[in-house]
Amino acid sequence: MNSEPRVLPFRWILPAAQLLICAVALWPIRNLLVFRQPEDVGFQFDTGTPPSESPNTAGTPAIVLDDPVLIHFSKIVDLREEIPVALNLPVALVAVPYAIVNPAKTDWVPKGMDVRTWRAISWPFAGLIFWWNAGLSVEALLWVRRGRIQPTIGWISMTVGMLVIVIGIMFSLTPFFGADAPGFPWVLLGSAGVGWTLLGGLTVVFGIAQRRMRSRMDVVETRERSAS
């Protein structure tokens, strides 16, 4: 009977879980994502000509832009689009530098696609590496508590963790500096920033803990060799 201790493979569970959450969030608005035109922000309607004066609008019901139901629906759609972005904030490490040098001041978007739609459907896949790294850190935490050094958190993972901490802190402070912009999900992104700061910190802390454990084990092994 195999008595080798095991832990759940969080490096695979966390990426799969976030993909599932993003799919659940976007599925009810899938048709809107497909048919949305570039440059759309919320819902736009042509209100330049009253329906009674337009020969092509006979029998078409007027759209009331301040209809509470329409406003509520618009907010729900915006929230569903922001969930994948919030869950994958570290992707901004790549998107923001590109947006800075891009004359349009936005991250890369395929021609003919709305930028928010592109983020909603692409960031969950781009963020897989960050979730994999976070899952690796959770596994390391569980193994460190058992006195084991596995899986090894290398310098690349620790560097990614440090960058995640930076981007997490940046977004965790956004509610304090952007609260004057109505309609923007500052609280959602701020909360996600706090969460990713903790996940990035977990990678760095337990990467350091593994190295300290390895150093102590090397010292003990050296003493045992000397004694023998």
User: What are the pLDDT digits (tens) for 188-201?
Assistant: 888 999 999 999 99
For 30, the token pair is: 């899938």
Q: How far apart are CA 99 and CA 92, in angstroms?
A: 10
Least confident among 16-25, 43-52, 80-89: 43-52
Work out the percent of the chain whose per-residue pLDDT is above 70.
Answer: 80
**Hey, which of 12-21, 91-100, 208-217 has the most confident mean pLDDT?**
12-21
Q: Is residue 55's pLDDT more than 70? A: no
Amino acid at 215: S
Distance in angstroms (rounded) separating the CA atoms of residues 226 and 228: 5
What digits encode the pLDDT tens for the residues 119-168?
Answer: 999 999 999 999 999 999 999 888 877 778 888 888 999 999 999 999 99
Higher pLDDT, 206 or 68: 206
In 10 A of CB 150, how many CB atoms?
13
What residues contact residue 70 under an 8 Å CB cut-off, 6+ apart?
Answer: 43, 63, 64
Per-residue confidence (pLDDT) for residue 182, from 0 to 100: 59
C-beta of residue 186 within 8 angstroms of C-beta of residue 179: yes
Q: In this predicted structure, what is the pLDDT of residue 74?
A: 79
Q: Select from 158, 103, 102, 98 the least CA-distant residue to 126.
A: 98
CB-CB contact of 169 with 190 (8 Å): no
Eight-class DSSP state of 187: H
Copy the structure tokens of residue 184.
């923007």
Domain extent listing, the chain:
10-227
* Residue in the structure block whose two tokens are 């078409």: 60
Contact 108, 117 (CB under 8 A): no
